[in-house]
């Protein structure tokens, strides 16, 4: 809006003035108008009453006295806005009973209940008041995102607009309807996950798309977001995996075993669930994330520092639920669970990866050691059923005995090479 | 007039009446409630003026003094009345206040919808005023005094609601300020009147 002209909503400024005294019911009239100080029994009315204006616009207002005392005059009256006296050059006498005010380039309202424009008598007493609402119309809300917890509800949040503050109370209403039929529904539980959010707790259909949008309204206008179309099944999240346990792997100083349970709410449906693990050293803020744990409920962290406390968390993504093709939404992380690796005099390896049971070691020094071990086995024994467990046992034995890697001992069901002397490793590692 | 009523009328003349223990406990409880609500009323007023914006919270702010038919503040002559009459007036005012506070809350829900604390405080004040009023009436009944004289006209609340909705917003803010002020004045007055009944606290 160009400066100097009131906005369209200032039509309210043209409402006929209502004397303050006529606003009260007859029951109250008889007890009003107690004179204060030397002001006499004056009443006054400000026009316009409670106008709504765009930021930067101007306002012409008047304070008209309706006095019973002969000689009541607007001489000496003055204005305040939010308690601050306005410069006298902004006002002038229109006639003997009316003081006019001209405000230009208005700023946004200081409080949502409106700026208080007050007309005062010469002695400072209040004759009349009017509340100004100065702001901006709402912008189009955007960036709507929704998620469903265990397919039971739907929570959505949005961004109100790039401009930010409207200086007016702006009401946001989340609407939704089934795409192919049904009536518009209005979400009722607001501010559940922030100021611009709403929660639909029940009665949601699956396997059929919803249309969702947000309507923003204030005194200066309204705006509507684009429509988001989604199927509840495509935006499912779940609870963090419960019962996360972290424990040592025997005496292995660089490994910890992590076990958890499928989130119970969806445990019968999580055929393709993905899990993620993150862990950090106790006094660090840097998390390391293990991806692609896939659909299993245990994992082993390797390459850890010996004698160190680790915090571990797990989260779940129920993707593919009921055949959904969408990526799914990760749950919150589980509560941190702590455990420590065994202490050793020798410094252990620094990094860490998750090694699924029965799988190949991922990388780094573990792989190199395993290669050496396997190479040694091939040379000294005929083992058709080499197992990772066997490797673990060997490593533990290595650490315990403080010997070099090229030891000539082994254990297990592997058949011995001819002439080789068999020695048994201890059961407990 | 019974000895009890006689001492209620003039508690300072003779030694305190030996009330039944449960009545003593009730009086203490009601007095403590009034003292607590006096503090809450101050907080309500602070919250209210803050949400209306300046000049409502500024020192020296004195809008036109409005009286609501059927309920005004304690009169200057209140302290000169017999204690039973004072308590009756306290009870009557506390009976009228919940409706007025509700009307203010409804208006403030339109003016300050994003101020949940103010709205909650107004709702709590209505409930608390009702509770204190009932407690004072119970004490009066136990003391053998009629609980209520000519009560406030129910139309006062209706009139407030009508006026509130029809009035300009500034006037509605001023009305609400007065109701919050009345609430504070009456709970404070009730606390003072009850203190004269509390055993051991008689001046």
Which domains does chain A possess? Answer: 43-135 (2.60.40.10), 142-234 (2.60.40.10), 245-341 (2.60.40.10)
Question: Distance from B157 to chain A by nearest Cα, in Å?
Answer: 11
pLDDT (average), residues A388-408: 58
Task: State the burial class of residue A346 (Cβ atoms within 10 Å of its Cβ: 0-12, 13-18, 19+).
Answer: exposed
pLDDT (average), residues A58-85: 88
Q: Which of B51, B62, B64 sits opposite A111 (nearest CB)?
A: B51
More confident residue, A44 or A164: A44
Per-residue confidence (pLDDT) for residue B101, from 0 to 100: 96
**A chain contacts of residue B159, beta-carbon cutoff 8 Å:** 24-25, 27-28
Determine, for residues A36 and B51 on separate chains, whether the beta-carbon distance falls below 8 Å.
no
Q: Is pLDDT of A67 > 70?
A: no
Q: Which of A34, A36, A110 sits opposite B53 (nearest CB)?
A: A110
Per-residue confidence (pLDDT) for residue A378, from 0 to 100: 62
Question: Distance from B171 to chain A by nearest Cα, in Å?
Answer: 7
Question: Distance from B169 to chain A by nearest Cα, in Å?
Answer: 6
Q: Residue A78 — pLDDT band, cuts 50, 70, 90?
A: very high
Q: Residue A325 — pLDDT band, cuts 50, 70, 90?
A: confident
pLDDT (average), residues A220-249: 94
Determine, for residues B69 and A84 on separate chains, whether the beta-carbon distance falls below 8 Å.
no
pLDDT (average), residues A77-91: 96
Question: Distance from B86 to chain A by nearest Cα, in Å?
Answer: 23
**A chain contacts of residue B47, beta-carbon cutoff 8 Å:** none
Nearest Cα neighbor of B38 from B199, B196, B193, B183 is: B183
Q: How much of chain A, in percent, has pLDDT values that exceed 70?
A: 70
Distances (CA, A) of A287 to A303, A314, A336, A337, A395: 15, 12, 12, 13, 27
**A chain contacts of residue B155, beta-carbon cutoff 8 Å:** 27
pLDDT in tens, B75-117: 888 888 888 999 999 999 999 999 999 999 999 999 999 999 9
pLDDT (average), residues A225-235: 94
Per-residue confidence (pLDDT) for residue B167, from 0 to 100: 73
Query: Are residues B11 and B197 in contact, defined by beta-carbon separation less than 8 angstroms?
Result: yes
Mean pLDDT for chain A overall: 78
Per-residue confidence (pLDDT) for residue B145, from 0 to 100: 72
Per-residue confidence (pLDDT) for residue B21, from 0 to 100: 83
pLDDT (average), residues A285-308: 90
More confident residue, A93 or B160: A93
pLDDT (average), residues A267-281: 84
* Closest chain A CA to residue B52: A113
Per-residue confidence (pLDDT) for residue A409, from 0 to 100: 41
Q: Residue B137 — pLDDT band, cuts 50, 70, 90?
A: very high
Q: Residue A37 — pLDDT band, cuts 50, 70, 90?
A: very low
Q: Residue A5 — pLDDT band, cuts 50, 70, 90?
A: very low
Per-residue confidence (pLDDT) for residue A41, from 0 to 100: 43
pLDDT (average), residues A353-373: 56
* Closest chain A CA to residue B162: A25
Question: How is residue B51 annotated by DSSP?
Answer: H
Per-residue confidence (pLDDT) for residue A24, from 0 to 100: 35
Per-residue confidence (pLDDT) for residue A401, from 0 to 100: 62
Is residue A352 classed as helix, strand or coil in its secondary structure?
Answer: coil
Per-residue confidence (pLDDT) for residue A44, from 0 to 100: 92
- ipTM surpassing 0.85, yes or no? no
Q: Is pLDDT of B119 > 70?
A: yes
Q: Which long-range contacts (CB under 8 A, 24 or more apart) does A376-384 make?
A: A376/A406, A377/A410, A377/A414, A380/A408, A380/A410, A380/A417, A380/A420, A381/A410, A381/A414, A381/A415, A381/A416, A381/A417, A381/A420, A382/A414, A382/A415, A382/A416, A382/A417, A383/A412, A383/A414, A383/A415, A384/A414, A384/A415
Q: Residue A63 — pLDDT band, cuts 50, 70, 90?
A: very high
Per-residue confidence (pLDDT) for residue B200, from 0 to 100: 72
Q: Residue B39: which residues within 8 A CB-CB, separation 6 or more?
A: none
Q: Residue B22 — pLDDT band, cuts 50, 70, 90?
A: confident
Query: Are residues A381 and A415 in contact, defined by beta-carbon separation less than 8 angstroms?
Result: yes
Residues of A with CB under 8 A from a CB of B: 18, 20, 23-25, 27-28, 30-34, 36, 46, 49-50, 80, 82-84, 110-118, 125-126, 128-131, 169, 171
Per-residue confidence (pLDDT) for residue B48, from 0 to 100: 97
A197-200: strand order across its sheet = A189-190, A197-200, A154-159, A142-149, A236-237
Per-residue confidence (pLDDT) for residue B76, from 0 to 100: 83
Per-residue confidence (pLDDT) for residue B50, from 0 to 100: 95
Q: Residue A9: which residues within 8 A CB-CB, separation 6 or more?
A: A51, A52, A53, A54, A219, A220, A221
Structure token digits, residue B160: 């407030």
Determine, for residues B173 and A118 on separate chains, whether the beta-carbon distance falls below 8 Å.
no
Query: Are residues A97 and A47 in contact, defined by beta-carbon separation less than 8 angstroms?
Result: no
Q: Residue A303 — pLDDT band, cuts 50, 70, 90?
A: very high
pTM given for the model: 0.69
């Amino acid at each position: 809006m160009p400066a100097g002209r009131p906005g369209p909503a200032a039509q309210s400024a043209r409402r006929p003035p209502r004397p303050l005294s006529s606003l009260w019911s007859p029951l109250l009239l008889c007890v009003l108008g107690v004179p204060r100080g030397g002001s006499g029994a004056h009443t006054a009315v400000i026009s316009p009453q409670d106008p709504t204006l765009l930021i930067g616009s101007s306002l012409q207002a008047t304070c008209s006295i309706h006095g019973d005392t002969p000689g009541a005059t607007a001489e000496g009256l003055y204005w305040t806005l939010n308690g601050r006296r306005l410069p006298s050059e902004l006002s002038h006498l229109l006639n003997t009973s009316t003081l006019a005010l001209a405000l230009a380039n208005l700023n946004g309202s200081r409080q949502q209940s409106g700026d208080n424009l007050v007309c005062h008598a010469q002695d400072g007493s209040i004759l009349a008041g009017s509340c100004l609402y100065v702001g901006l119309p709402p912008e189009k809300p955007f960036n709507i995102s929704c998620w469903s917890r265990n397919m039971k509800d739907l929570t959505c949040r949005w961004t109100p607009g790039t401009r930010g503050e409207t200086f007016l109370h702006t009401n946001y209403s989340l609407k939704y309807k089934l795409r192919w039929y049904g009536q518009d529904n209005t979400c009722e539980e607001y501010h559940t996950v922030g100021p611009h959010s709403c929660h639909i707790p029940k009665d949601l259909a699956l396997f059929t798309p919803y249309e969702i949008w947000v309507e923003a309204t204030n005194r200066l206008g309204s705006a509507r977001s684009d429509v988001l179309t989604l199927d509840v099944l495509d935006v499912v999240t779940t609870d963090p995996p419960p019962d996360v346990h972290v424990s040592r792997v025997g005496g292995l100083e660089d490994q910890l075993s992590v076990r958890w349970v499928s989130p119970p709410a969806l445990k019968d449906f999580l055929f393709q669930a993905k899990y993620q693990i993150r862990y950090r050293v106790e006094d660090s803020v840097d998390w390391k994330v293990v991806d692609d744990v896939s659909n299993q409920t245990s994992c082993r962290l390797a390459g850890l520092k010996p004698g160190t406390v680790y915090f571990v968390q797990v989260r779940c993504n129920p993707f593919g639920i009921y055949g959904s093709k969408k990526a799914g939404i990760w749950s919150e992380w589980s509560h941190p669970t702590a455990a420590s690796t065994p202490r050793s005099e020798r410094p252990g390896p620094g990094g860490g990866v998750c090694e699924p049971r029965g799988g190949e070691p991922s990388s780094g020094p573990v792989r190199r050691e395993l290669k050496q071990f396997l190479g040694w086995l091939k040379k000294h024994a005929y083992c058709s059923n080499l197992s990772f467990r066997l490797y673990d046992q060997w490593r533990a034995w290595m650490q315990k005995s403080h010997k070099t890697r090229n030891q000539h001992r082994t254990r297990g069901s592997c058949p011995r090479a001819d002439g080789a002397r068999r020695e048994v490793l201890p059961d407990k590692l | 007039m019974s000895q009890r009523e006689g001492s209620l009328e003039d508690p300072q003349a003779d030694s305190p009446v030996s009330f039944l223990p449960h009545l003593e406990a009730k009086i203490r409880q009601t007095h403590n409630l009034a003292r607590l609500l006096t503090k809450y009323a101050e907080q309500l007023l602070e919250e209210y003026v803050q949400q209306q914006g300046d000049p409502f919270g500024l020192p020296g702010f004195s809008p036109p003094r409005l009286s609501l038919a059927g309920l005004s503040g304690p009169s200057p002559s209140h302290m000169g009345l017999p204690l039973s009459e004072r308590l009756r007036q306290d009870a009557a005012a506390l009976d009228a206040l919940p409706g007025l506070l509700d009307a203010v809350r409804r208006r403030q829900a339109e003016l300050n919808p994003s101020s949940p604390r103010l709205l909650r405080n107004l709702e709590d004040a209505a409930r608390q005023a009702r509770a204190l009023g009932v407690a004072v009436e119970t004490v009066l009944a136990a003391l053998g005094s009629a609980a209520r004289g000519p009560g406030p006209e129910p139309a006062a609340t209706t009139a407030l609601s009508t006026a509130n909705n029809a009035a300009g917003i500034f006037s509605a803010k001023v009305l609400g300020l007065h109701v919050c002020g009345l609430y504070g004045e009456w709970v404070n007055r009730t606390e003072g009147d009850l203190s004269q009944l509390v055993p051991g606290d008689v001046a």
